[in-house]
Chain A
């Protein structure tokens, strides 16, 4: 099935540092979604992207829809301890199959105070 590859798989950073992660696909996507999962909870939507080149912010988080439509990026500025969790990218399976969301394998973020 359709795969989304996230990089890096895990990150260990100091509080206050900036974070960058990305998600790539072999297929073109029309939508990119970024979710965060806190320990013991379900994922929560952070940012949704719908147009190639689109840059969208949510507080300290900024995400971009790649120009090629095969990748997306998430940046977190000035990290804080509550940023700890797993970050997932997601999109419609095969790039256009709405109703079937495909998720990446996640980036595990650890923030040291």
Chain B
């Protein structure tokens, strides 16, 4: 099983450029989310979705857009990249948001540098 697949693995952008980080899961999970990881700050929630057509903001949503047109895919869009968005981005999914099925499965991450 592929699990949670993120592409690309690495990306370098110039300030002001836009791009989309892709995330797909093949586990039929309803819940998907995006986190960013910065040194010493753990993982911070950007956006999440509890099902197709439903998205909501997390802790640090500014500068990012999401949509969920299918159960499998949850892309993250950077509209105008800024150096402050340099980070490692993780997509995660789970069967449900309620215990005991709330356990998150993570992708392997996208390392993004904005110059």
A-side interface residues toward B, CB under 8 Å? Answer: 1, 4, 6, 9, 30-31, 33, 40-45, 48, 50, 88, 90, 92-93, 98-106
Contact = CB atoms under 8 A, between A and B. Distances in A.
A45 B103 contact: yes
Given A99-B50, A103-B43, A105-B42, A50 B106 contact: no
Contacts, number: 66
Interface stretch (B12-20, B66-74, B78-86, B92-100): B92-100
Interface of B: 4, 31, 33, 35, 40-45, 48, 50, 56, 58-59, 90, 92, 97-100, 102-109
Given A1-B59, A99-B48, A48 B103 contact: yes
Given A4-B42, A42-B106, 6 more contacts: A9-B40, A41-B109, A42-B109, A45-B103, A45-B105, A103-B43
Contacts of A92: 102
B56 A99 contact: yes
B31 A48 contact: no
A7 to B, nearest CB: 13
Contacts of A105: 40-42
B108 A40 contact: yes
A88 B42 contact: yes
B114 to A, nearest CB: 20
